[in-house]
């Protein structure tokens, strides 16, 4: 990936666009990490996104969005569990990444408290890589447990937490407060995690990628009996609501938690000043490989609780604590080969085939090499000894080469000019603009030009077509689709629906190993249940480049029906100016989408595939917004805290009445609805002369 433009070199418009993209990207990563237990980027990559967002907001404070990641902790609770509002929010910590960052933390504490030259005590506690939980005790008895959720509201997992032997049902002793919320981390030991995955493999079930995901998935089971079968553990390290003070320092508090029956990490230390912080980090880094549980850093906390209270909080983090992150775990191994994988949009990604190596407790045999430019920049060659990194135990990547160990005769890798598919179609690089001399500027991605003719892309298109956000057809996973494709049963989307009524093919499926009467009947029923599809899902399922869920919904709302959408796409493909102008006027549609839709529908093969699909299904029209209301056709921005409506309700109401809802204020904005706490958007409205309404005035305008 090319280096992003320096923040100081960005215009306000460029910064606004990037903040919008970052907010959506980070929110999606939060959901995958906290709810789905399936992170798709490393901790380091995620931290880089958050740091970039913070830098942009610092330079352009007027652009801070209400859905800014700065103001969010974790992800919203899942609907499967009852909500639990935390008495004291479970906040996140700021990160430190170097010795200099640790020294600066100590210096900030000293400046704030005016303690230059004095000794400051800290606790240094291992940062357990598990799932945060809060346990409420009343009169010493455990009465309720919750996950962190979004930091303010978590999920009620009381019954599941009761299955963990290291969580006491009743506190020992008699010196505990009448009410206290004990906080800590639910985690898996390495040996128990290995046993869990071994049992899953034996039972033919999915395995977990790392102990953190396993802990999250195990604690958030609907059936507590499943949780009870898994050896979850718990370390206590903090507290939330408390009916009375019970300690004067963080260290005394940890001792109290031990007395009451909790396990507290034995590696925790009390240290003094910046030198003590650095020494504790070095010691924890040395101990890390020998621990039976994962840690991803060290948490520094000011020891005295009265000083913690004086220091207070900034944004969503305490001033009195910081998380010092470890660098990504790495290992050395041999690069045996470089293969190419072709994605749905034709992007060709090089993949390193490695001699097996264990990194962070996980066996790694494959790693991404990103793109041709990255291979050339790092001078990666087959046969090299390479350094492999699994930051956050997610996607392995090759971060460098050990040049001293390069074998004689190792040749520089030449990226192919043709797709590895049987058709060997040419690869092309995206043109991203022109330089001052008019020369084309190319992106780093090589892309197969074969589109649906490329068998690799066709299978990826089919996988996308049946995915949860598109047609959502159960029973057609990657393995099934690949097998059906190889056997000519399913070559394009319409074939899926033809298969469901092909009696000979269905009868043959019932005789295949791994199938049977029930599984085939379920597959047919799943396909048949998707013959009726909303327009936005249909558009998303087509797999047009740059057209995802949000853009598909905008197109569906813009055209209203499949017939109108397809007729308009034919005109856009033909370059008709009026049709292109109409598409360009839709919210969230820009040049990239216009170019991609035109290219897609200009291809005869694509048009035939779409026509045959349409013949097999029924596509539901979009309910058209009203045009006879006081806000029809107007662009509305909601800001601040709404008291009578939720933000989602307000947006849905406005769109149902024919209004367009925007996330930022511009000269095209007609109305701003402002509640308490409105900030930069209210100022922007005043600067631009945009009419501002209170929530009550808005409800009166639209009829309640």
Indicate the domain borders of the chain: 7-72, 95-325, 330-449, 453-530, 534-620, 635-702
CATH code for the domain defined by 453-530: 1.10.150.20
Q: What is the pLDDT of residues 306-334, one digit of tens each?
A: 999 999 887 678 999 999 988 767 778 89
The number of beta carbons lying within 10 Å of the beta carbon of residue 661 is: 17
Bridge partners, residue 441, by sequence? 433
pLDDT at 440: 56
pLDDT at 587: 64
pLDDT at 222: 82
In CATH terms, the fold of domain 534-620 is: DNA polymerase; domain 1 (1.10.150)
Q: What is the pLDDT of residues 617-635, one digit of tens each?
A: 999 998 766 677 888 888 8
Q: What is the pLDDT of residues 75-113, one digit of tens each?
A: 444 446 788 888 888 888 888 988 999 999 999 999 999
* DSSP string covering 466-501: TSTTTT--TT--HHHHHHHHHTTS-SSHHHHHHHHT
In CATH terms, the fold of domain 635-702 is: Rossmann fold (3.40.50)
Identical topology for domains 453-530 and 534-620: yes
Q: What is the mean pLDDT of residues 523-540?
A: 92
- Measured in degrees and rounded to the nearest 5, phi and psi for residue 585 equal -80, -15
pLDDT at 704: 65
Hey, which CATH number is domain 330-449, 3.40.190.10, 3.50.50.60, 2.30.30.100, 2.40.50.140?
A: 2.40.50.140
pLDDT at 220: 83
In CATH terms, the fold of domain 95-325 is: D-amino Acid Aminotransferase; Chain A, domain 1 (3.30.470)
pLDDT at 452: 65
Q: Is 205 exposed, middle or buried (0-12, 13-18, 19+ CB in 10 A)?
A: exposed
Q: What is the pLDDT of residues 145-170, one digit of tens each?
A: 999 887 888 889 999 999 998 999 99
Q: What is the pLDDT of residues 54-63, one digit of tens each?
A: 778 777 877 7
Bridge partners, residue 635, by sequence? 660
3-state secondary structure of 119: coil
Per-residue b or e along 34-63, where b marks 16 or more CB atoms closer than 10 Å to that residue's CB: bbebebebbbbbbbebbebbbebbeebeeb
Q: What is the mean pLDDT of residues 574-594?
A: 84
User: Has residue 528 got a pLDDT over 90?
Assistant: yes
pLDDT at 541: 93
User: Has residue 128 got a pLDDT over 90?
Assistant: yes
**381: confidence class by pLDDT, cuts 50, 70, 90:** very high
7-72 classified as CATH 1.10.1060.10: no
Identify the active-site residue in 5, 50, 127, 634: 127
Residues with Cβ < 8 Å from 602, sequence gap 6 or more?
573, 574
For the question of residue 50 being annotated catalytic, the response is: no
pLDDT at 77: 44
| DSSP3 helix / strand / coil % (the chain, rounded to 5) | 40, 25, 35
Q: What is the mean pLDDT of residues 224-243?
A: 92
**337: confidence class by pLDDT, cuts 50, 70, 90:** very high
* CB distance 86 to 153 below 8 Å: yes
Q: What is the pLDDT of residues 439-460, one digit of tens each?
A: 656 667 888 777 667 888 888 8
């Amino acid at each position: 990936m090319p280096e992003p433009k320096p923040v100081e070199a960005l215009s306000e418009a460029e910064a606004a666009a990037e903040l919008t993209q970052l907010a959506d990207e980070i929110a999606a990563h939060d959901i995958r990490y906290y709810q789905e237990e399936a992170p798709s980027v490393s901790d380091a990559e995620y931290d880089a996104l958050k740091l970039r967002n913070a830098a942009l907001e610092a330079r352009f404070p007027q652009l801070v969005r209400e859905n800014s990641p700065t103001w969010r902790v974790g992800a919203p609770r899942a609907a499967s569990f009852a909500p639990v509002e935390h008495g004291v929010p479970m906040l996140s910590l700021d990160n430190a990444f170097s010795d200099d960052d640790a020294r600066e933390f100590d210096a900030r504490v000293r400046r704030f408290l005016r303690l230059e030259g004095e000794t400051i005590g800290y606790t240094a506690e291992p940062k357990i890589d598990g799932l945060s939980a809060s346990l409420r005790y009343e009169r010493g008895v455990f009465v309720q447990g919750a996950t962190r959720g979004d930091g303010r509201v978590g999920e009620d997992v009381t019954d599941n937490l009761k299955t963990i032997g290291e969580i006491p049902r009743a506190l020992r002793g008699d010196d505990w407060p009448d009410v206290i919320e004990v906080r800590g981390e639910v985690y898996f030991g390495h040996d128990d995690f290995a046993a869990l995955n071994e049992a899953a493999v034996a039972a033919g079930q999915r395995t977990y990628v790392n102990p953190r995901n396993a802990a999250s998935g195990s604690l958030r089971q609907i059936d507590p009996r499943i949780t009870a079968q898994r050896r979850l553990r718990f370390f206590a390290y903090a507290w939330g609501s408390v009916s009375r003070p019970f300690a004067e320092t963080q260290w005394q508090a940890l001792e109290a938690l031990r007395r009451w029956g909790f396990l507290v990490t034995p590696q925790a230390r009390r240290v003094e000043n910046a030198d003590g912080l650095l020494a504790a980090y070095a010691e924890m880094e040395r101990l890390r490989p020998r621990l039976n549980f994962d840690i991803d850093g060290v948490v520094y906390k000011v020891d005295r609780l009265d000083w913690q209270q004086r220091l207070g909080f900034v944004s969503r983090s305490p001033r009195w604590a910081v998380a010092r992150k470890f660098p990504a775990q790495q290992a050395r191994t041999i690069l045996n080969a470089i293969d190419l994988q072709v994605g749905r949009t034709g992007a060709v990604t090089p993949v390193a085939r490695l001699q097996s190596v264990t990194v962070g407790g996980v066996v790694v045999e494959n790693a991404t090499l990103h793109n041709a430019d990255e291979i050339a920049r790092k001078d990666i060659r087959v046969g090299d000894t390479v350094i492999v990194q699994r930051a956050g135990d997610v996607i392995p990547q090759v971060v460098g080469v050990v040049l001293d160990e390069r074998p004689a005769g190792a040749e520089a890798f030449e990226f192919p000019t043709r797709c590895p598919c049987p058709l060997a179609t040419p690869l092309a690089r995206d043109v991203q603009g022109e330089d001052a001399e008019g020369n084309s500027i190319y992106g780093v991605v090589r892309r197969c030009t074969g589109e649906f003719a490329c068998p690799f892309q066709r299978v990826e298109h089919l996988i996308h077509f049946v995915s949860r956000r598109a047609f959502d057809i159960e029973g057609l996973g990657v393995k099934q689709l690949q097998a059906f494709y190889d056997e000519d049963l399913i070559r394009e989307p319409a074939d899926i629906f033809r298969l469901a009524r092909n009696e000979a093919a269905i009868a043959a499926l019932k005789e295949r190993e791994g199938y049977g009467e029930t599984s085939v009947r379920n597959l047919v029923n799943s396909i048949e249940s998707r013959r009726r599809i909303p327009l936005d899902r249909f558009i998303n399922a087509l797999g047009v480049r740059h057209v995802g869920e949000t853009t598909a919904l905008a197109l569906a709302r813009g055209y209203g029906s499949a017939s109108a959408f397809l007729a308009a796409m034919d005109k856009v493909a033909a370059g008709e100016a009026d049709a292109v102008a109409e598409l360009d006027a839709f919210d969230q549609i820009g040049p990239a989408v216009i170019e991609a839709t035109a290219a897609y529908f200009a291809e005869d093969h694509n048009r035939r595939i779409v026509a045959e699909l349409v013949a097999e299904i029924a596509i539901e029209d979009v309910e058209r917004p009203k045009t006879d209301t006081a806000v029809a056709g107007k662009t509305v921005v909601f800001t601040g805290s709404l008291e009578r409506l939720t933000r989602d309700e307000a947006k849905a109401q406005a769109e149902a009445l024919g209004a367009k809802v925007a996330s930022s204020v511009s000269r095209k904005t007609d109305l701003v609805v402002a509640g308490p706490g409105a900030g930069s958007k209210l100022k922007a409205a005043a600067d631009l002369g945009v009419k501002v309404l209170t929530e009550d005035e808005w409800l009166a305008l639209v009829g309640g």
